[in-house]
Amino acid sequence: MATIISVILLASALLFTFSQAQTATASIDCPAPQPTKPLNTTTPVFGFIPPYNGTGPTLLRFGCHQLVIDRIDPLVNAGQIPSPHQHQIVGGNAFSSSMPYTDISRKASCTTCGYSDDFSNYWTSDLYFRARNGSYKRVSQLPGRYNFNDTFPSAIHGGMVVYYVSDGRGLNSAFKPGFRMFMGDAALRAPPVSPDLSTQNCFRCFSSPDFGGDLFAPCQDDRVDTMFLPPRFCYGLRSNIVFPTCWDGASLDSADHKSHVAYPEEGPAKFVGSKTGVKCPASHPVKIPQLMVEIIWDTTPFNDPDLWPEDGTQPFVLSNGDRTGYSQHADYVFGWKGDALQRGMDAGCRGARCPGMKTQTVEKAARCHVREMVKERHEGWLDTLPGNPAQPPGCGGPVQPHY
């Protein structure tokens, strides 16, 4: 009975888990985005995951403080300072404008993440609010929800919550040193060709304070989940980005940073916390952990009708200049020390406490930082977005690639 109650409590807790270069006075006329497909509302978050017994699926969930906010991108714009647009980054302090295909865990000396052997880097675009007067303000990030008796995610400063899922012992191969990948399409300003991606990349609009309406698994509730930035007040806006779960078994990267990974034959695996897909295609036969990053944007301070456009259109914009939200994306460079991630994927554990895996205090993780390489303002009210990412008339793709 105690085990059943524990599972119920676990599920309950996690359920609540573009005109040319823009100027301060430029107007942006974006078409109203539409849902790409109905999303199901039948998958409760991790509701059917068996309790920890050391042999079943693994769900690692841990917080990572902000490492730095900077306009560099070692994956898509390696060595370029500055890169076209701003990112918010978490993870190990080996992060730089260029990161060769080496074991970065040997170059890093600290990490902002709860698991102290995870020197990986995870980064996404930032989110800004564009006021009626044309000025911009960066949207700060909120801590994650309290789950698994783990206070770290709910105490992070900025940053994100990271998830890794395996099907069970020996069923998912951890990434190799030097591995990296990219999820999303930074040029996208309309629904993607494959509607199945709606379960892999979304925004969740909380309907009330304290994660209101957070009742189902990420990107699987059409009442609160969209691939576009929602045109309504939200009491917090959560980004969830899920990476592919199949690998070609040889390439640490590819020209587009995506072709070396793929989705299972049956399509992208929904994030349920215990299953990463049924069968990988022959071209990408190796099943890898399902990686998801989660960022909660503090949009509540902007819930003021006097700040929003007079026509009521949504005022948020990604740091690459996208006001639709369809270009939401994430980058990943693997950096776990030794076999730590593989051990975790084989351990059948939950949350941020996994036998044999090292953790650190939230205070120690918060002391890990790197210096900004591009010195520019990104806080307070700004006349333009950092880098002033150019957009053509309307809401089409960028004039130049902005990843």
Of 397, 403, 391, nearest to 21 by C-alpha is 391
Q: What is the pLDDT of residue 192?
A: 86
Nearest to 26 by CA among 322, 318, 395, 384: 384
Confidence of residue 391 (pLDDT cuts 50, 70, 90): low
Q: Give the model's pLDDT for residue 147.
A: 85
At 41, the pLDDT band (50, 70, 90 cuts) reads: very low
Confidence of residue 53 (pLDDT cuts 50, 70, 90): low
Residue 146 has what pLDDT?
A: 87
pLDDT in tens, 75-108: 998 888 999 899 999 999 999 999 988 899 999 9
pLDDT at 52: 54
What pLDDT is stored for residue 315 in this prediction? 95
Is the pLDDT reported for residue 8 higher than 50? no
Report whether pLDDT(115) > 50: yes
Give the total number of structural domains in the chain: 1
Q: b/e per residue, 115-144, with b = 16+ CB within 10 A? A: bbbbbbbbbbbbbbbbbeeebbbbbebbbb
3-state secondary structure string across 157-181? CCCEEEEEEECCCCCCCCCCCCCEE
| Residue 22 binned pLDDT confidence (cut-offs 50, 70, 90) | very low
Q: pTM of the entire structure? A: 0.87
**pLDDT reported for residue 331:** 98
Q: Looking at residue 403, what is its pLDDT?
A: 32
* pLDDT above 70: percentage of residues in the chain: 83
Average pLDDT value for residue range 234-249: 98
Mean pLDDT of 198-202: 95
Residues 6+ apart with CB under 8 A from 202: 218, 219, 225, 226, 227, 239, 240
* Ordered DSSP codes for 287-326: E--EEEEEEEE--GGG--TTTS-TT----EEETTS-SSST
Which residues, 6+ apart, have CB-to-CB distance to 1 below 8 Å? Answer: none
Lowest-confidence region among 10-19, 47-56, 329-338? 10-19
* Of 225, 222, 347, nearest in space to 294 by CA: 225
pLDDT band at 352 (very low <50, low <70, confident <90, very high): confident
Domain of residue 278: give its range.
1-403
Local confidence band at 401 (pLDDT 50, 70, 90 cut-offs): very low
Q: What is the pLDDT of residue 17?
A: 37
* pLDDT value for 380: 94
Query: How far is C-alpha 379 from the chain's CA centre?
Result: 21
Average pLDDT over residues 29-33: 46
pLDDT at residue 148, rounded to an integer: 84
113 SS3 class: strand
pLDDT band for 273, please (50, 70, 90 cuts). Answer: confident
Longest dimension (CA), the chain: 63
**Percent with pLDDT over 90 in the chain:** 69
Name which residue leads in pLDDT, 18 or 380: 380
- 119-149 confidence digits (pLDDT tens): 999 999 999 999 998 999 999 999 998 888 8
Average pLDDT over the chain, rounded to an integer: 85
The Cα–Cα gap between 232 and 225 comes to 12
- The predicted pLDDT at position 27 comes to 34
**363 three-class SS:** helix
